[in-house]
Chains A and B, each alone.
Chain A
Amino acid sequence: MKVAVCVKQIPDPASPGELDPETKTLKREGKLVLDESDSYGVEMALQLVDAAGGGEVVLVSMAPNNETSGLRTALAMGAASAILVSDPALLGSDALGTAKVLAAAIKRAEPDLVMAATESTDGYTGTVPEQVAELMGLPSVTFAKHVEVAEGTLKVNRQTEAGFDEVECPLPAVVSVTAGVVEPRYPSFKGIMAAKSKPVEELTVSDLGLDAGEVGWAGARQEIVNIAPAEERKAGEIIEDEGEAHLKIVEFLEQLKVL
């Protein structure tokens, strides 16, 4: 079984994000890392390929520059190869533009299953996997918290407001996984060394047969008209617990009429 996994390389979430006042996009100058949300999809895909008794995991990613450090992390986990669509024209791409690029790149890999996180940590639109599915004419199951494949059928427990639905779907299909669906492995030293020589195919927007006007700012057909700081919430009283802090909490709850 061949599984294509959509992965995103993002600025390290540990350092505060910043918007570029000129382009109004997220600054991505520093080192990019594999979005932690995507490590679940990579792990899930590796486990499904193992369970199927063979096949491979192909990564699909896009970036305005030819950054690969995040992809190497996923390759070190065990993915076989990667397709990276890298083009300055991609700067400012919205969810639909991103989905058009990913769908075109995924088609080249001809996978049995397409996997993605439910949403990226930085942009968090949560619409790309479903847009990819529609562009590829595939069925999809989003918000999967448990995934298995049996005899060509995808079996998913899909998160709902009330609990979860058991959903079945023929392959090929798109599935988006929630964090926690599996425990991602840490890349081994051997894996890290092997990842350095794994193939990363770099493509431009025109290689995919897409028009530059469909992606980036031009394709987004939206304009950021204002960026403003939120009204700050002020810190209140901070106390050090010396054994009696719980009484202070009780007192506060009483004031609020919760008790």
Chain B
Amino acid sequence: MPLSTIWVHAESVDGKPASISLELATQARELGATVEAVHAGGDAEALAQAIGPYGVTKLHTTGDTDGCLPGVVLAAALAGAIKGGAAPDLIMFGTTYDGRDTAARLSVRLDRPVLTNNVTVTADGDVVVSTPVFGGTTFVDTAFRCDPPHLALFRPKSFEPSESGGGPAEVVTLEVPDVGATRGAKIVERHVEERSGPKLDEAAVVVSGGRGLGEAGKYDMIEELAKLLKGAPGASRAIVDAGWVPYAYQVGQTGKVVKPTVYIAAGISGATQHMVGMKGSKNIIAINKDPEAPIFSIADLGVVGDVHKVVPKLIETLKARG
């Protein structure tokens, strides 16, 4: 049975939709359903303009959340709408910070399972989602066995966003019930960490460093190489955990999923944790001194060698080319 209505969680900054939200809207449209978006924030009008062309007909919004973290507010509003008779078949979220908060709270309010980290969805009869496990070596397909709406979270970059040519979405205001003590968490200040160059999950070239660098100071050469290639620097979980670079740099299961034209892994052995976040890259170059490192099993070009020798020479050569 085809799905009649799908809600997608629309996330935005100042009215500009996040890529994941456009990816979800495109996929929902391809399932042949009426696509509506759900949203928390004060920028619904601008977002409705931007997301409409991706096939979203309505944008249900809580409006400004008055400094509250959005998940708790949106989940309560959606549960209220659903109990009041709105009945989407499926609600799609991104595996993002606020996507997870919202879906988790909503799953409790509706007493429904929420399936996470999916990369595909089909609706030929059952609604079935697929999740990579063990570093992306195995896919597990899971069917919902409960009444709709089904709740599913999708990893960024699972779908390619494309416009279908519609006009702006109609903005509809959601009623926000009193959520009592649960709305206690308030944002008192926002910090934007400026990073020069392209964003990690949008860059055509990503250069990541791992424990093989030996010490925090050596990460400088990863940043330098990334800059020379007009790419973004990334990191394995090991060096994020060690405090060498911020969490925002992390590529992997926990962290960002990247699919650049070229991914350069320097001093990264290739733990499953890391591979699931980068094995979708079009080309992979690995530099590691251990010839047995798992990263070589997926590298298009593998260099068995010392990153402290190979990377500086690479930087010098690129600089010499100008």
Contacts and interface: CB of A to CB of B under 8 A. Distances in A.
Interface of A: 13, 16-17, 19, 24, 36-37, 94-96, 99, 118-119, 121, 124-131, 133-135, 137-143, 145, 157-170, 173, 178-180, 183, 220-230, 233, 235-241, 243, 245-250, 252-253, 256, 258-259
Given A126-B95, A239-B302, A252-B301, A221 B191 contact: no
A-B pairs with lowest CB-CB distance, top 9: A241-B305, A139-B184, A130-B104, A163-B193, A236-B300, A127-B104, A134-B108, A221-B146, A238-B302
B241 A180 contact: yes
Contacts of B187: 165-167
Nearest to A155: B188
B304 A179 contact: no
Contacts of B132: 230
Contact of A237 (B115, B302, B310): B302
Interface in B16-53: 18
A133 B247 CA distance: 24
B105 A130 contact: yes
Contacts of A121: 273
25 contacts: A124-B253, A124-B254, A125-B114, A125-B116, A128-B104, A131-B108, A134-B182, A139-B185, A140-B101, A140-B185, A145-B247, A161-B13, A161-B18, A162-B192, A169-B184, A169-B185, A226-B139, A230-B136, A233-B298, A235-B296, A236-B299, A241-B309, A249-B314, A256-B283, A258-B229
A179 B190 CA distance: 21
Contacts, number: 272
Given A142-B101, A249-B301, A96 B139 contact: no
| Listed residue (A125, A178, A259) with the most chain B CB atoms within 10 angstroms of its CB | A125
A222 B115 contact: yes
B303 A239 contact: yes
A241 B306 contact: yes
A125 B151 CA distance: 13
Contacts of B190: 160, 162-163, 165-166
